[in-house]
Amino acid sequence: MTPVWKKTPKPTELIDRVTQAFRLAFGYEPTAVYSAPGRVNLLGEHIDYSGGTVLPFALPQRTYLAVTPRQDRLLRAVTAQGDAGASASSSPREIELGAIAPGAVEGWLAYVAGVPWAMAQEGLVSRDELPGADIAIDSSVPLGAGLSSSAALECSTALAFDAFAAANTGREPLSASDTGRTQLAIACIRAENEIAGANTGGMDQSISLRAHQGSVLAIDCRDFSTRPLTVDVDRAGLALLVMDTRAHHNLSDGQYAKRRAACDFTADTLGLTTLRDYFESTPTLAEAHQLVARWEEQVTAGMVDLPPQTDLPTARAALRHALTEIARVEECLALFSTAETTEQTWAQLGDLLNASHDSLRDDYRVSCDELDLAVNAARAAGALGARMTGGGFGGSAIALVSQELVPTVAEAVASAYERAGFNHPEFLLASPAASAAQDR
């Protein structure tokens, strides 16, 4: 079975396309174009909301916004994409800035409208500093593929409204500094949680606004401090193959929120702010397993106040995933703490990716048949390691593969999908790209 490779239009093509879409929708020229990237997470899945460190990097695939601020407070937006699985809107959708509130906006417009609302709620702008806007959207980040198309839309919107507020007040845009970008990321998280209704952590917005070109970014989600990490797969003759299962994932259908609530609740019953705080020092896998055992003893001794209906095996498995994943990231950080990598470094990274997937599949239960098949077929065809990336329940998996094996692995995954009767998967090679920026 011949694998299908995703085609990513060049940035200049997308900038022209979104500019043209703006002209068609609104009948005049946009004043600026902004864009923000999607992401792949190398390791550290479903632990951002538990205060763990995550290891994402930005993709070259980006969401583009052509914009013009308005004289009034009306927001009008048109998109070439629409919601995952739905068709694009041909005529603009609109809402007054003053009407934006939790529950008031549905679908893709919530990811746009939520941002100026959240920027005002966070005190980053006063309500009067924000004008309405006309916006056209186009994107090369595949929707519903677990590559963070929602955050790319929020973060490009944040750059636009940040620039409007800066122009109106004469101050520097927040996007000019990493501290300002962190504040914008926090507003985007709030937009996603409160207006779009997806109770996600902060990984996706942080990487989209704060990525370092060429590096993985280690984000400590206790305080969103970051440090770039060199994971130079290319120099080692390796590649990171992204396998989009084309089984659409959706983070606002309740499954994601359930997992997060279980972690928040468990931390709470232990008197902790996040599960990361259960570790006494730098997390290790040995300590992660000891802590799970200690928790079980405490539960058995009645020292943890759990409601009677708590499903203990599920709660234990979720705790085990969170703690071991937090520790796996620390192992990965140690592996890449020196500039020199050996074959063994990459083999160990492969093992960490495999262990992460197995934990997400068996303990945390956020994988699905399509993701497991991609991971298994890639491993069997010679990948050093493979795992789902992002929220799961569909979306994409990644495989660490030697460059000469890429066609073989992609072919093996495509053939396995054909035999299973799944949608044809689509492939791309990922490399760390730049953060959100103004393009025109």
Which chain residues interact with ligand GAF by CB under 6 A? 41, 45-46, 48-49, 148, 200-201, 203-204, 251, 390-391
Tokens 């500093």 correspond to what residue? 129
**Smallest gap, in angstroms, from Cβ of residue 264 to ligand GAF?**
12
Structure tokens at 313: 């095996």
Residues 6+ apart with CB under 8 A from 408: 381, 382
**Smallest gap, in angstroms, from Cβ of residue 20 to ligand GAF?**
31
Cα 59 off chain centre by: 11
Please, which residue, 116 or 391, has the CB nearer to ligand GAF?
Answer: 391
**Smallest gap, in angstroms, from Cβ of residue 43 to ligand GAF?**
10
**Smallest gap, in angstroms, from Cβ of residue 146 to ligand GAF?**
7
Total Cβ atoms within 10 A of residue 82: 15
Please, which residue, 41 or 324, has the CB nearer to ligand GAF?
Answer: 41
Tokens 């959100």 correspond to what residue? 436
Please, which residue, 49 or 161, has the CB nearer to ligand GAF?
Answer: 49
Please, which residue, 15 or 211, has the CB nearer to ligand GAF?
Answer: 211
Q: What single-letter DSSP state applies at residue 415?
A: H
Catalytic positions: 204
Please, which residue, 132 or 432, has the CB nearer to ligand GAF?
Answer: 432
Q: What single-letter DSSP state applies at residue 438?
A: E
- Which bin fits 291, alpha (ψ -120 to 50), beta or left (φ > 0)? alpha
- Mapped onto helix, strand or coil, the DSSP state of residue 17 is helix
Please, which residue, 390 or 432, has the CB nearer to ligand GAF?
Answer: 390
Q: Find the helix packing angle between 178-190 and 149-169, rounded to 10°.
A: 120
Name the residue among 3, 154, 2, 10 with its Cα closest to residue 77: 154
Cα 74 off chain centre by: 29
Name the residue among 176, 228, 175 with its Cα closest to residue 56: 228
DSSP run (H or E) holding 116: helix 109-121
Beta bridge partners of 120: none
What is the C-alpha separation between 252 and 260, in angstroms, rounded? 12
**Smallest gap, in angstroms, from Cβ of residue 47 to ligand GAF?**
7
**Smallest gap, in angstroms, from Cβ of residue 177 to ligand GAF?**
23
DSSP letters spanning 241-253: EEEE------TTS
